[in-house]
A and B are shown apart, each in its own frame.
Chain A
Amino acid sequence: MRIDDVYIADSLEKALSFKHDHPDYRWICGGTDVVPALRDGSPVYQKLIDINQLRPSLDYIRQDGGVLRIGALTEHKKIALNEVVRTVFPALAKACGSVGSAQIRVRASLAGNLANASPAADSAPALLAAEAVIQYQTAQGKGSIPIAEFFLGPRRISLPADGLITEIAIPVPKDGWKGDYYKVGARAALTIAIASAAVLYSEETGYRAAFGSVGPTVLPGPETKKVLDEGRTDRKSISEAVRKDVRPIDDVRASAEYRRLVCSNLVWMAVQQ
């Protein structure tokens, strides 16, 4: 395992200015994705900026009018157990509670799960369905990106080269997001989803859906939303719509056809609730 250098940042300003001057350094926080990658010989993470000391200022969950604000470095365990999240966005609490294992959820940060840009990231479908906004900072200032534009492909995100995610801002309807997140994998814990789906509902927005592990990124479900909003909640209508939304491939974990079937069934299950 090769690491050439680690810069330990003790303030956001120093972290951003160091990253600006050293674009080849990569962020590390919980390290639960970075350390296994290093162990596998990844050349990408041999120079690191450690931002664990920024946790006090970037680790928070608060409701701010109609927006649920989650600090970028908040660990999944805290999100999964947080009373506000469990009340206004239970699908997100469940999604964060299904990341990795109990040990991983203590260390892994929400922004890390998103920035890693796995198509199977558990936190991503619920956030995509809710149209969350990724807030970031660079040495020059602040910016934001709608999550729908954030994921470009496996391990590829749209963020300025010297940017650091600072907050996930989630619009929350007046009565909260109803709905659920389901994932299917080979075992209950520590599994990479074979397919996953978040289905959300509120009176203001109607239905929303998003899918994981069935495309190069997590995918929104506009056709699924359409049939659900029209009240066509029979299995055939759902299945036809989901099949238009997802773009799965055959791989070592499952066939594309199995993934289509699983996604349809997950949406149908969510609608029964």
Chain B
Amino acid sequence: MKHISFVLNHEKVELDVAANERLLDVIRGRFHLTGTKEACGQGECGACTILLNGEAVHSCLMLAYQADGADIVTIEGLAKDGELDAVQQAFLEAGAIQCGYCTPGMIMSAKGLLLANPHPTADEIKEALSGNLCRCTGYVKIQQAVELAAEKGGSRS
């Protein structure tokens, strides 16, 4: 058991975690933030993507104690004051969602990209999202959504 504290969606949290808890388990099971999904559980599908200190990472590949001292943002932490983040809004407007299971991970990867690179090229968007699988959309609208998000100021944190 380790006592850790980190910032989760802009609020400081403290808890005891077991050595074998993954960050994904803590986010979903302890904080009930179920927007972050588990699909493959081995870092291949990207459904569990979160922001760790502003960069997109797999929460299924991190042990929870490794989040000690970090700044973690999940899909639930993007909207502010009841307003969707520009990336979320762009996904809605572009129709980049079908079943929705990959969407939180896609949006967090897109957010990570735009934070580092506010005006990515089409190839940079493809590269940044290549670790996220979607079995419904065919990716074209997701690509368009990220382009739209960049225009809408999706790089603001």
B62's contact among A31, A188, A190, by CB below 8 Å, is which?
A31
Say if the beta carbon of B118 comes within 8 Å of chain A: no
Say if the beta carbon of B127 comes within 8 Å of chain A: yes
Say if the beta carbon of B43 comes within 8 Å of chain A: yes
Residues of A within 8 A of B52 (CB): 106
Decide: A104 near B66, CB < 8 A? Known: A35-B22, A39-B41, A190-B131.
no
Say if the beta carbon of B61 comes within 8 Å of chain A: yes
- Measured in the bound complex, the distance between the Cα atoms of B66 and A209 in whole Å is 38
By the criterion CB–CB under 8 Å, are A104 and B58 in contact?
A: yes
- Measured in the bound complex, the distance between the Cα atoms of B43 and A48 in whole Å is 20
A36's contact among B19, B43, B109, by CB below 8 Å, is which?
B43
Q: Which of B108-148 contact A (CB under 8 A)?
A: 109, 112-113, 127-128, 130-132
By the criterion CB–CB under 8 Å, are B44 and A190 in contact?
A: yes
- Measured in the bound complex, the distance between the Cα atoms of B2 and A52 in whole Å is 15
Q: Which of B58-91 contact A (CB under 8 A)?
A: 58, 60-63, 65-66
Say if the beta carbon of B57 comes within 8 Å of chain A: yes
> Which of A48, A107, A188 neighbours the largest number of chain B CB atoms within 10 Å of its CB?
A107
By the criterion CB–CB under 8 Å, are B57 and A106 in contact?
A: yes
Q: Which of A93-112 contact B (CB under 8 A)?
A: 100-104, 106-107
Say if the beta carbon of B20 comes within 8 Å of chain A: yes
Decide: A6 near B63, CB < 8 A? Known: A102-B127, A103-B57, A188-B130.
yes
Residues of A within 8 A of B131 (CB): 100-104, 189-190
Interface size of A in residues (CB-CB distance below 8 Å): 29
By the criterion CB–CB under 8 Å, are B57 and A6 in contact?
A: no
By the criterion CB–CB under 8 Å, are B61 and A31 in contact?
A: yes
Q: Which of B35-59 contact A (CB under 8 A)?
A: 41-44, 46, 49, 52, 55-58
How many contacts between A and B, using CB within 8 angstroms?
Answer: 86
- Measured in the bound complex, the distance between the Cα atoms of B131 and A32 in whole Å is 14
By the criterion CB–CB under 8 Å, are B65 and A107 in contact?
A: no
By the criterion CB–CB under 8 Å, are B46 and A35 in contact?
A: no
Beta-carbon contacts of A96-134 to B below 8 Å, as 1s and 0s? 000011111011000000000000000000000000000
Say if the beta carbon of A2 comes within 8 Å of chain B: yes
Task: For A105, give the chain B residue with the smallest CB separation.
Answer: B131
- Measured in the bound complex, the distance between the Cα atoms of B112 and A32 in whole Å is 19
By the criterion CB–CB under 8 Å, are A101 and B66 in contact?
A: no
A-B contact pairs, 15 of them (CB 8 A): A3-B18, A5-B19, A6-B19, A35-B63, A36-B43, A39-B42, A100-B131, A102-B56, A103-B56, A104-B131, A106-B56, A189-B130, A189-B131, A190-B43, A190-B44
4 more contacts with CB within 8 A, not counting A102-B128, A104-B58, A104-B131, are A28-B63, A101-B131, A102-B130, A106-B56
> Which B residues contact A (CB, under 8 angstroms)?
2, 18-20, 22, 41-44, 46, 49, 52, 55-58, 60-63, 65-66, 109, 112-113, 127-128, 130-132
